[in-house]
Amino acid sequence: MNPAGQHPCAPDPSLHPLARIRAAHGWSYQKLARLIAARARAYGVGMAGERQKVWRWEHRSVTPDRLTQRCLADLLGVGHEELSVHPWPAWLPTADLAPCAQEIQALRRELTQVRAALAGMRREVERCPFTGE
């Protein structure tokens, strides 16, 4: 603990909530913009991954549009209903955890996705008439 009683890995509490989340995940402005744009493509919407957008959200009090917030919520594991209940940026999760705890959460999400992909592959193999004999 530092003299202020804050964990040395804890993000700076004076930062915008999104800046704290980026710091906890190790995301640059550009990385987060690209992740959001990729998620938008999954919804069938083309979106430019511009780092300036993220900077404006954090420093100019610009509110991201609804689709962008939905994509960000997906990345952070936040339910879409939170977007209706709490305004920007109040729905963002707190980044009080040490970065390693944030990484564990992200890895768990990735593990769930990998398990689902493997289950799909297993079903494909089971349907295959070729047995290898």
Inter-CA distances, 109 with 29, 55, 124, 131, Å: 22, 26, 23, 33
Segment 5-30 shows an average pLDDT of 78
Contact 18, 56 (CB under 8 A): no
pTM of the model: 0.63
Q: pLDDT tens digits for 31-77?
A: 999 999 999 999 999 999 999 999 999 999 899 999 999 999 999 99
Q: pLDDT tens digits for 100-121?
A: 666 766 787 888 899 999 999 9
Angle, CA of 91, 92 and 95, to the nearest 5°: 140
Contact 88, 74 (CB under 8 A): no
Identify the pLDDT of residue 65: 96
